[in-house]
A and B are shown apart, each in its own frame.
Chain A
Amino acid sequence: GENVEQHPSTLSVQEGDSAVIKCTYSDSASNYFPWYKQELGKGPQLIIDIRSNVGEKKDQRIAVTLNKTAKHFSLHITETQPEDSAVYFCAATIRPANNLFFGTGTRLTVIP
């Protein structure tokens, strides 16, 4: 089955700086890559996703890039704010199917 690796496991940045989280996947057939944010005491919430026919997607301060050849995808957060502090998870799956394979998470801390 699919294996998703995520780095780093923890990340601290100063407020206003950028944060980058990277994931690799093993199954070249994977075609859907969502990113989830999990705040303390809450379940994961989808923040952005990308499909394999797209190389980059942006939503305000958040962007995701996908390199199908290298089988890796990244989350970029610009102008970080304290409320961005949370655990971020990447995932991959082969649509149509909804068996998401998750990375181990990155704990992001934005220092005011």
Chain B
Amino acid sequence: ETGVTQTPRHLVMGMTNKKSLKCEQHLGHNAMYWYKQSAKKPLELMFVYSLEERVENNSVPSRFSPECPNSSHLFLHLHTLQPEDSALYLCASSHDPLTDTQYFGPGTRLTVL
């Protein structure tokens, strides 16, 4: 176990649904990340939070909305998704947002029907 947990592990939703992904880190880290992992494509960084403030947003569609209420928790709120949003969503954390190793959670497998 890496100390980063994600729930749920699997999620199936319709295009009109609203759902949320949750990530929790038990490592005392200060930075958290959301990545999207699609088949045969590189991992794509979506959002970076440092000390609960968003520091990077890599042009992600507004149907993905992150929330970081404290340094241990990170959410990804989903609404009106498209089938092409189906992917594995990975959360990661690091002690320092600029220089430290990122530790990944197991991911949430999302399927949009």
Contacts and interface: CB of A to CB of B under 8 A. Distances in A.
21 contacts: A4-B42, A9-B40, A36-B104, A42-B106, A43-B4, A43-B90, A43-B92, A43-B104, A44-B90, A45-B2, A45-B104, A95-B98, A98-B48, A98-B94, A98-B98, A99-B56, A99-B58, A101-B42, A102-B42, A103-B42, A105-B42
A86 interface: no
Interface string A73-112: 0000000000000000100000111111111110000000
Interface of A: 4, 9, 34, 36, 41-46, 49, 89, 95-105
A103 to B, nearest CB: 6
B110 interface: no
A4 B45 CA distance: 14
A101 B99 CA distance: 14
B31 interface: yes
Given A98-B99, A104-B42, A43 B94 contact: no
B27 interface: no
B56 A46 contact: no
A43 B106 contact: yes
Interface residues of B, number: 28
B76 to A, nearest CB: 15
A43 B105 contact: yes
A95 B58 CA distance: 18
Contacts of A102: 42-43
A56 to B, nearest CB: 20
Given A42-B107, A98-B97, A99-B45, 17 more contacts: A4-B42, A36-B104, A42-B106, A43-B4, A43-B91, A43-B92, A43-B106, A43-B107, A44-B90, A45-B2, A45-B103, A46-B102, A89-B43, A98-B33, A98-B94, A103-B42, A104-B40
B53 interface: no
A43 B48 contact: no
A97 B98 contact: yes
Interface in B7-48: 31, 33, 40-43, 45, 48
Contact of A96 (B99, B105, B107): B99
